Amino acid sequence: MVQQTSSRTVGIHLTHGDEYFGLLGPYEVDEGWWSSAAPVVERVSQELGVPVVVLRLAHAPSDGSSGHGGHVVYHVEALERPAGSAPRQVTPDVAALLGPAERRAGWATTTGLREALAWAGTTLDEAGRPAVGRPEQVRTWNLSGLFRFRTASSSGGGGGGGAWLKTVNPAFNAPEGRVIALLGSVDPTLVPTVLGSDPEHGRLLLDHVSGEDLWRPSAEEVIAVVPRLVAAQAALAADGRAAGAGLRDRTLPTLVAHVNALLDRLVAEQATSPAPGPDGPGEQQPGEQQPGEQPEDRLTGAELTAALALAARLPALVEELTACGLPNTLVHGDFHPGNWRSDGTLAVVVDYADSAFGHPALDGLRPRQYVDGERWTQIAGVWARAWREHVPGSAPERALELVEPLFHLAYAVRYQEFLDHIEASERPYHETDPVTEIRRALACASPGPADD
């Protein structure tokens, strides 16, 4: 289900170019999600009387807050010099916090953000859609930055809503413009309109999609979305274009190899730094966990043993899934209802950064974590009927039952990719996610001979 967010308090390290104006705040803002930049921008702009942008999260609690609530600190850049404010001396600690860092996202730097905004402005001009006023920063975090542009005119059904700039890290995200074009070649109404794409720098400019995100979809909205994605996936599998699109390989055997690599890594990490738990604590160091306390981002020895036993059964599970008869195709990668959008007449699927070439049951199972039991039963039924229609003789219901452990392990791999490509200050967003998904895989996996 959709997680409810509280408000948060924020502190800001304020800069303008090479000038530093100190740590300001704390301010209380609405919307508890750390990545939600809009209320921070609004509050700080009102306070300072100049436009600002949030560059990045500089500090967040590492207490399992899961990306929302509490007190967080941001690096904020003033786009104009704040009047009446005097620059301050930068201490070594602040210099280290605000200075260059390994794996920092381009949109989390002043130069990179200005370049992205300039690219979007030029692209809008070339499309005959010049921007009106300043762009509105909506979101920024380790995975993406999102800005909304008001434009002088609109096309492609945007209804005057402007355009959206999305920035991602191309090192571990799909080229969304290419994915949208591929799906759009089968069903142009399923995807948003692309106004510009710069895959080398991870930039995408989209026309506004009217309506609302369908976090709580009705029965009619499910029917308006799910069968259309299945139809497009089936068509791209049948004509071979999904296989030849150059997408990340997340077919089941490749996924198993990634899972094994992740578990080998966890085994090696535990061997060099044993974590406390039921199998006995490691050597206690000052400030570390007390004996018997288990860090949320570490598996116990028993859990790791169980995960390795599950991994040993994955090849057999892959054979069973393959026997269900569903083809490899383009998978959305994050097909939850929050990425479905509708104005009541037309439903569109958005956010293709996690797209890959893989098994469609990975998409089919994704909505279950976001809807109640009755709605999930409907979604599963609609999804299965659609696949049986396009692939007669297949067993999609059985595929949904079988794929669950691999589904969670796939997300463990994906979250580890996030952690491997983001800077240290952003790690609280995802620090515990790989282990959480492995635990979910263990919880839903049926015991095998190796576990008896």
444-449 contact pairs (CB < 8 A, 24+)? 444/404, 444/405, 444/408, 445/310, 445/313, 445/404, 445/405, 448/309, 448/310, 448/312, 448/313
pLDDT, position 283: 40
d(CA 452, CA 439): 18
Residue 244, classified by CB atoms within 10 Å of its CB into exposed (0-12), middle (13-18) or buried (19+), is exposed
How much is the pTM? 0.89
pLDDT, position 445: 85
If we measure between CA atoms, which residue out of 369, 372, 375, 359 comes closest to residue 436? 369
133 pLDDT more than 60:
yes
2 pLDDT more than 70:
no
Phi/psi-derived region of residue 227, left when phi > 0, alpha when psi is between -120 and 50, beta in every other case: alpha
pLDDT, position 329: 98
**Distance set, CA 47 to CA 50, 70, 77 (Å):** 8, 21, 14
How high does pLDDT run on average in the chain?
Answer: 90
* Lowest-pLDDT choice from 28-32, 189-193, 351-355: 28-32
Domains of the chain: 8-99 (3.90.79.10), 108-210 (3.30.200.20), 249-451 (3.90.1200)
Mean pLDDT across the stretch 314-331?
A: 98
Token readout for 208 is 């506004």
Mean pLDDT across the stretch 202-227?
A: 97
Are 313 and 450 in contact by the 8 Å Cβ rule? The answer is: yes
pLDDT, position 381: 98
Are 228 and 187 in contact by the 8 Å Cβ rule? The answer is: yes
Q: For the segment 23-40, what is each residue's pLDDT rounded down to a tens digit?
A: 999 999 988 899 999 999
pLDDT above 70 coverage of the chain, percent: 90
pLDDT band at 279 (very low <50, low <70, confident <90, very high): very low
Token readout for 443 is 């919880």
Helices 396-421 and 373-390, axial angle in degrees (round to 10)? 110
Q: For the segment 54-104, what is each residue's pLDDT rounded down to a tens digit?
A: 999 999 877 656 788 889 999 999 999 998 889 999 999 999 999 999 999
